[in-house]
Amino acid sequence: MSGNAIADSSAVSLPRVLPHQQDALSQLHAILQNYHSNDPFDWLDLACGRGQIITHLNDTLPDPEERAKICYFGYDINNQYAGEAVALGKKFGLKGADVKIGNLNDFAALVSLEQQFSFITFTNAAHEITPVLLGTLFFELILRLKPGGTIYFYDMESLPDQELGAIPWQATEIRRLLNFIFKELGAKNKPPSPQRWQLTKCHTWSFSFKRENLDVDDATFAALVPELKTKTDTFIKQLFKEKLDRTVEQLQDLMEHRGTETTPAEHAEKLNLLYDYWSLSQIFK
């Protein structure tokens, strides 16, 4: 898996609503209840896949007038899904629907600063990009957020099925990242606190960032972004160097004290650690 690609597995179309879709759509519904502007409500859905989240709008936004406010803008690496997402937008009565094709590390070049959004979703994809890109992407999204806008993040702490190259974030790591960013910006408000969820096969995390959370004006923030990206890159690399060191220690412990695994659980633990070691080591090549 490349550091900026979105795996095809992220685009599986399911008839039932998934936890991250339910949470994101609940927030969308609440925001639209208080959206009284005559301007279109611009929604950016990063790693949108087939736009399958749109299929649930009939239930979560049953009022056609509310759906008609939404201009949906998807962003995904896979060109074959773009037409499906646009077709779903038309089917469910959105004001507009479009999809931009590109890698996430090209987002800043492909989506201009003039394109501003009221709602941004980035779900089940953070583990599929290099960790340093998440910090850069977060800043680029803030720069494209309308006043009063919201960014919703969600991902898994571990994968039900291992993917070579995937690097999941823990909720504690996301919390440390947000604390670092707010401190570096001199913000007086507290950063959003990631929530952690226990699902059947894994833990997940999520948080919502509202533009008013960051008590730094747009001009000041934009001027600080270049330096902030450099500092955040360094912070994230250190964060994941610590994670790599812990992984190595755990592997050494398995080899020195347990010997050959004797149970399926021990075998699964070793396999997960080996996947983690390979993925984390790629950051520091």
Residue at 139: amino acid letter: F
Confidence of residue 79 (pLDDT cuts 50, 70, 90): confident
Distance CA 259, CA 192 (A): 43
Stretch (H or E) spanning 147 = strand 145-156
Asked if residue 170 has pLDDT above 70, the reply is yes
* pLDDT category of residue 10 using cuts at 50, 70 and 90: very low
> Which range has the worst mean pLDDT, 15-19, 27-31, 249-253?
15-19
Residue 142 reports pLDDT greater than 80? yes
Task: Give the pLDDT score at 14.
Answer: 47
The percent of residues above 90 in pLDDT, for the chain, comes to 74
Which of the four pLDDT bands, split at 50, 70 and 90, describes residue 227? very high
Domain assignments of the chain as residue spans, ordered by start = 8-239
243-256: average pLDDT: 90
The span from the CA of 275 to the CA of 165, in Å, is 8
Inform me whether the pLDDT recorded for 2 exceeds 50.
Answer: no
Which has more pLDDT, 13 or 54?
Answer: 54
**Residue 238 pLDDT exceeds 50:** yes
* Integer angstrom CA distances of residue 232 from 32, 66, 133, 237: 33, 38, 10, 8
Tell me which residue of 248, 124, 142 sits closest to 185, measured CA to CA: 142
pLDDT score for 130: 95
pLDDT at 189: 95
Q: Output the average pLDDT for the chain.
A: 90
Cβ atoms < 10 Å from Cβ of 189: 12
Question: Which residue has better confidence, 92 or 259?
Answer: 92
Residue 31 bridge partners (DSSP): none
Q: Which residue has the higher pLDDT, 262 or 106?
A: 106
Superfamily per CATH, domain 8-239: Vaccinia Virus protein VP39 (3.40.50.150)
Task: State how far the Cα of 236 lies from the Cα of 4, in Å rounded to an integer.
Answer: 16
Which of 60-69, 73-82, 171-180 has the largest mean confidence? 171-180
Cα Rg of the chain, angstroms: 20
